[in-house]
Amino acid sequence: MPLTVDHVDYAYSFQKPVLHDVSLSISENTIMGLIGPNGSGKSTLIKVILDLLQTQGGTIRIDGQKNSTRSAKMSSIYLSSNDYLPEFLTGEEYIRFMHGLYAEPLDMQVLVGHFDRYSMGGRHRDLIEDYSHGMRKKLQLIAAFMLERRLTVIDETLNGVDIESVKIFEKDVRSLAKDGRSVLLCSHDFGVLENVADDVAVLIQGVLVFQGDLGSVNKDYGNLSVLASEYIQSVGVE
Ligand SMILES: Nc1ncnc2c1ncn2[C@@H]1O[C@H](COP(=O)(O)OP(=O)(O)OP(=O)(O)O)[C@@H](O)[C@H]1O
């Protein structure tokens, strides 16, 4: 199983728990959409999954290994919601650096192809400090699509990416979720999730209130938006 989260709790301070007894799993070849209102704990859950914050209860396994192990870290890649990247590197140097971290050889032809496809043709030799916000997000995506980890975790990385590139992203993320690889995609963009997700998980006030497949969601609720509204109303979030 690419990801199993078992009874996980997390609090930044003892007064205010953020995650309560969260359990979820992502099967092979699956894209799971993670949704929930602002402040519901999605980014915290993602950071706990990737061992950037340490669980205070429960266990997490990536590709069968505890998330704190080197093997789990080598099996996963995290695309954060911000666009903080090393500005003193060029796009190509950043991708080369990321390949070095994962001990993977760099295929320049594939790199150049991705830059072309994401409307950044020829910009791989420019410094990241000269990239726009959307270009930085696309650079993060290119790294993930080239490195093809068993688990890719994308936290709101599509914010600010233009519509044409989002369409290409949708194709690429579907191709990524093959050969045993899976993706956790946290987004407020229900349109994208409806186009690509197999499964969906809903987190509200730190509680995982729903996990199921998108086909059943469409059948039982009509669409993701209705599902989200029903759960939000049922727990009384404004
Ligand atoms: N470093 C931190 N220290 C203390 N509290 C934090 C910290 N980071 C987040 N929180 C709090 O934890 C809760 C969950 O935040 P989190 O960022 O995980 O939510 P989210 O679901 O990702 O929200 P959004 O959709 O707005 O990105 C919020 O109440 C937030 O204020």
pLDDT-derived band at 233, boundaries 50, 70, 90: confident
Identify the pLDDT of residue 157: 77
- Say what the pTM is: 0.95
Which distant-in-sequence residues (6+ apart) come within 8 Å of 12 by Cβ?
18, 44
3-85+151-235 to CATH, choices 3.40.50.620, 1.20.1070.10, 1.10.10.60, 3.40.50.300: 3.40.50.300
| Partners of residue 201 on adjacent β-strands | 34, 211
Identify the pLDDT of residue 15: 73
Tell me the best of 9, 12, 237 to mutate to test the pocket of ligand 1, counting ligand atoms within 8 Å of each CB and taking the most: 12
Residue 121 has pLDDT above 70, yes or no: yes
What strands, in cross-sheet order, belong to the sheet with 76-79? 76-79, 151-155, 182-186, 31-35, 199-204, 207-213
Q: Is the CB of 75 under 6 A from ligand 1?
A: no
Ligand 1 center to residue 35 CA distance, Å? 14
Identify the pLDDT of residue 237: 57
Indicate if ipTM > 0.90. Answer: yes
Mean pLDDT, residues 97-117 taken together: 97
